[in-house]
Structure 1
Amino acid sequence: MKLAYLTNYFPSLTETFIYREVMELQRRNYSIDVYSLRKPDRNDISQEAVGLYDATRYLLPIDVLYLCKCHLKYLFGRPLRYVMTLCKMLTGTHKNLKGRIRSLMHFGEGVVLADMMSKAGVTHIHSHYASQSTSVARVIHLLAGLPYSFTGHAHDIWHDQLLLPQKLAEAKFVVTCSHFGRQWLLKQIDRDVSGKVHVVYHGLDTRKFTPPVNEKRKKNLVLSVGRLDEIKGHPDLIRACAILRDKNFDFECAIVGEGPMRSELEKLVAACQLEEYVKLIGALPQEEIITCYQSAWVFALPCVTVNDGRQDGLPNVLMEAMSCGLPVITTKCTAQTELIEHERNGLLISPHQPEELANAIMELCEDVGLRDLLRMDARLKMEQEFDNQKTIEPLLRLYDQYL
Structure 2
Amino acid sequence: MINEVKKKKKLLVVTSTFPRWKNDTIPHFVFELSKRLTDEFDVYVLAPHYPGAKSFEILDNMKVYRFKYFLTKYQKLAGNTAILPTLQKNKWFYFQVPFFLIGEFLALYRLTKKIKPDIIHAHWIIPQGFVAALNKKITGVRYIVTSWGGDMFVFKKQGFLTNLLKKVYSFILNNSKKSTSVNMVFLDEMKRVANDKDKVVYIPNGIDTELFNPKKKDLLIKEKYKIEDSFLLFVGRLSEKKGVRYLIEAMSEVVKKSPKVKLMIIGKGELESELKDLTKKLKMENSIIFTGAIPNKELPRYYATADIFIAPSITTKDGDREGFPTVFLEAMACGNSIITTRIDGIENIIQDGINGYIVNQKSSKELARELIELIQNRKSIKSGKDTFILIKNNYDWSIIKNRYKEILI
Specify the TM-score bucket, using the shorter chain as the normaliser.
Answer: 0.7 to 0.9
Question: Counterpart of 1:325 in 2: which secondary structure?
Answer: coil
Contact 1:10 1:40 in 2 (8 A): no
Matched, 1:331 2:345: no
Q: CA shift at 1:52, angstroms?
A: 4.2
Looking at structure 2, the residues matched to 99 and 42 of structure 1 have their Cα atoms a distance apart, in angstroms, of 22
Distance in 1 (alpha carbons) for counterparts of 2:17 and 2:363: 34
2:18 matches 1:10: yes
Residue in structure 2 matched with residue 34 of structure 1 by the alignment: 45
SS at match of 2:180: strand
| Aligned equivalents of 1:359, 1:178: Cα separation in 2 | 28
CA, structure 1 residues 311+109, in 2 after alignment: closer, same or farther (shift >3 Å)?
A: closer
**Residues 126 and 40 of structure 1: CA distance in aligned 2, closer, same or farther (over 3 Å):** farther
Q: Distance in 2 between matches of 1:31 and 1:167?
A: 25
| C-alpha contact (below 8 Å) 2:218/2:302 kept by paired residues | no
Correspondence for 2:82: none
Alignment of 1:380 with 2:383, yes or no, is no
For 2:403, give the aligned amino acid.
Answer: P
Per the alignment, residue 165 of structure 1 pairs with: 170
CA contact (8 A) 2:245 2:275 kept: yes
Q: CA deviation at 1:322?
A: 0.8
Correspondence 1:139-288 to 2 at 5 A: 139-159=134-154, 163-187=168-192, 189=193, 192-212=195-215, 216=219, 219-288=229-298
Q: Given residue 244 of structure 2, which amino acid in structure 1 is its aligned partner? A: H
Q: 1:41 offset after TM fit, Å?
A: 4.7
In the TM superposition, what whole-angstrom CA distance separates every residue of 1:130-153 from its partner, at most 9, and x where no partner exists?
Answer: 112223222322222222211011
1:393 CA displacement: 2.3
Matched, 1:363 2:373: yes
Deviation at 1:21, TM superposition (A): 0.5
Alpha carbons of structure 1 residues 235 and 213: separation in structure 2 relative to 1, 3 Å: closer
Compute the displacement of 1:4 (Å): 0.5
Which is further off, 103-112 or 310-319?
Answer: 103-112
Match of 1:55 in 2: 63
Q: Is the 8 A contact 2:18 2:47 kept in 1?
A: yes
State the distance in 2 between where 1:213 and 1:142 align.
Answer: 49
| Cα contact 1:111–1:139 (8 A) shared by 2 | no
- Displacement, 1:387? 1.0
Secondary structure, aligned partner of 1:208: coil
C-alpha distance in structure 2 between counterparts of 1:265 and 1:110, whole Å: 37
105, 109, 112: which is aligned to 2:107? 112
> Which consecutive residues of structure 2, in runs of 5 or more, have no partner in the other structure?
1-8, 73-92, 157-164
Name the SS of the counterpart of 2:209 in structure 1: coil
Give the 3-state SS of the residue equivalent to 1:149 in structure 2: strand
Report the alpha carbon displacement of residue 61 of structure 1 after superposing the two structures with TM.
5.9
Provide the rounded CA distance (Å) in 1 between the counterparts of 2:100 and 2:43.
26
**Counterpart of 1:312?**
322
Residue of structure 2 equivalent to 1:79:
none
Distance 2:52 2:213 in 1: 28
RMSD of Structure 2 on Structure 1 (CA):
2.8
115-124 or 196-205: bigger deviation = 115-124
| Matched AA of 2:265 | I
Structure 1 spans left out of the alignment, 5+ residues: 44-48, 65-97
Aligned partner of residue 8 in structure 1, secondary structure: coil
TM-score normalized with structure 1 length: 0.81
CA separation of 1:259 and 1:215: change in aligned 2, threshold 3 A: closer
1:246 positional shift: 2.7
Q: 1:248 deviation in Å?
A: 4.5
Equivalent positions of 1:59-74 (< 5 A) are 59-60=67-68
Match of residue 5 from structure 2: none
Cα deviation for residue 293 of structure 1 reads 0.9
Deviations 1:239-287 (A, max 9, x none): 1100112334420011111111112111211111111111222111112
Deviation at 1:317, TM superposition (A): 0.7
Which of 21, 35, 40 in structure 2 is aligned with 1:23? 35
Following TM superposition, by how much is the alpha carbon of 1:385 offset from its aligned partner in structure 2, in angstroms?
1.1
CA distance in structure 2 between the aligned counterparts of 1:366 and 1:182, rounded to whole angstroms: 39
1:341-400 Cα deviation digits (max 9, x unpaired): 12221111221221221122222223233224x343332221121111112222122123
The code of the aligned residue for 1:121 comes to K
The structure-2 alpha-carbon separation of the partners of 1:384 and 1:395, relative to structure 1 and needing over 3 Å to count, comes to: same
- State the AA in 2 paired with 1:172: K
What displacement does 1:103 show?
5.2
Q: Secondary structure at the match of 1:258?
A: coil
Q: Secondary structure at the match of 2:310?
A: strand
